[in-house]
Amino acid sequence: MSEEKKDLYHQDPFFYNQHEINQSSLFPFFNDNNPSVYNHPVTQTLQGFDPSFMTFTDCLHGSMDYNTLSRAFDMSCNSPSGHQNHHLITPIDTNLKKQAAMGDSAGTSENPSTPNSSVSASSSNEAAGEEESDKSKKDKQPQGCEEDGDEAKSKKANKPKKKEKRQREPRFAFLTKSEIDHLEDGYRWRKYGQKAVKNSPYPRSYYRCTSQKCTVKKRVERNFQDPSIVITTYEGQHNHQCPATLRGNAAGMLSPSLLACASIRPSFPQQLLTQFLPTNNQVDPNSMFYRNLSAQQQLQLPDYGLLQDLVPSFSNRQKP
DNA sequence: CGGATTTGACCCGCGC
DNA sequence: GCGCGGGTCAAATCCG
């Protein structure tokens, strides 16, 4: 990424979307100041594709491409109004990022919304596969070679010389207005690194899912231009159930975000639905939201049904 | 004491 | 080839 682009990115979260990755979804719903925003863009957004077949989860699983998602979301993205509680959901393709990083050629000069500029999920999944093999290679390496003493010390220098381009899993970035850096999403994370971010006073933290064999990672950083905005980037897909689900999920015992987590399939980027919910952390356990979700629904409800529960207007629009 | 966090070192890809 | 920056490792430290 060029310096100029980086600066733009920090100054304007939307730049992340429009200029760097060409894909985005801006969710100006659940505006704290406007409860009616409930039935606003998300409804439109989800009507962009049949949610019974095309869920966000499906997207992550590769059954729909980013193009579709982007188009659907774009229906709700174009309003720059109400910066109060914007949430950006960004399917990031690392190849696109690289293109953008290459300079003006790919990322900035094209129309950000050009459908052809997106990359299908399948290609991303291929990349994910390669990444996985690459990663597992890396992870297994210490155990694989039985080295001792000095050899162990120099193990990093003895890495396999085979040069495979490192590929990354599909990423999804969320912009969340929050005082808390590490937002609760129902999964357990272990911090494994922290780096200073260039041109930003706020560090970037690296987290890894603590579940065995789960390779999901996330990065958390603050927008230095607007410190109240947390940028969370998920990479990979959970291969296990949400711990919050397993812990037992009596209604009213879980925070809305955990409940949302429990309501969906494991690989879903939980914060997405977290953002669907009112974020005032003081949700009445007797509220419609809680009462509408039975334990079974929480676990098995199709996304469509879930959204009906979460977004009443969604139901209304679907079934006038 | 075990798990989580911190933090400096290291690796890797990329641009110049 | 070199330097830079992002990402990861792992020993040290913290903490419940």
pLDDT digits (tens, 9 = 90+) for A294-305: 333 333 333 332
Q: How far is the CA of A191 from the C1' of B6 (A)?
A: 9
Which range has highest mean pLDDT (A40-54, A59-73, A186-200, A267-281)?
A186-200
Does residue A203 lie within any of the structural domains? yes
Order across the sheet with A203-209: list the strands. Answer: A89-92, A171-177, A229-235, A217-222, A203-209, A189-196
Q: How far is the CA of A4 from the C1' of B16 (A)?
A: 17
User: Residue A205: pLDDT band by 50, 70, 90 thresholds?
Assistant: very high
Torsion sign across C-alpha atoms A172, A176, A182, A187:
negative
Does residue A146 lie within any of the structural domains? no
Summarised one tens digit per residue, pLDDT across range A27-80 is 322 233 332 222 222 222 223 233 333 333 343 333 333 444 344 333 333 333
Does residue A192 lie within any of the structural domains? yes
Q: For strand C, which nucleotides have at least one atom less than 7 Å from a protein CB?
A: 5-10
Does residue A109 lie within any of the structural domains? no
Total structural domains within chain A: 1
User: Which candidate, A97, A115, A121, A116, places its Cα nearest to that of A107?
Assistant: A97
A210 CB contact with strand B at below 7 Å: yes
Does residue A112 lie within any of the structural domains? no
Tokens representing A90 are: 């960004």
**Residue whose structure tokens are 């808390």:** A180
Does residue A92 lie within any of the structural domains? no
**What does the alpha-carbon distance between residue A69 and residue A79 come to, in Å, rounded to a whole number?**
17
Percent of chain A with pLDDT over 90: 3
Which range has highest mean pLDDT (A123-127, A149-153, A241-245, A287-291)?
A241-245
Q: From the alpha carbon of A102, which nucleotide's C1' atom is closest?
A: B15
Domain span at A193: 171-240
What is the domain-level CATH number for residue A200?
2.20.25.80
A251 CB contact with strand B at below 7 Å: no
Greater pLDDT, A122 or A226: A226
Q: How far is the CA of A231 from the C1' of C11 (A)?
A: 29
Does residue A220 lie within any of the structural domains? yes
Does residue A280 lie within any of the structural domains? no
Q: What pLDDT does A246 receive? A: 59
Reduce the secondary structure of chain A to three states and give it as a string: CCHHHHHHHHHCHHHHHHHHHCCCCECCCCCCCCHHHHHCHHHHHHHCCCCCCCCHHHHHHCCCCHHHHHHHHHHHHCCCCCHHHCCEEEEECHHHHHHHHCCCCCCCCCCCCCHHHCCCHHHHHHHHHHHHHHHHHHHHHHHHCCCCCHHHHCCCCCCCCCCCCCCCCCEEEEEEECCCCCCCCCCCEEEEEEEECCCCCCEEEEEEECCCCCCCEEEEEECCCCCCEEEEEEECCCCCCCHHHHCCCCCCCCCHHHHHHHCCCCCCCHHHHHHHCCCCCCCCCCCHHHHHCCHHHHHHCCHHHHHHHHCHHHHHHHCC
A217 CB contact with strand C at below 7 Å: yes
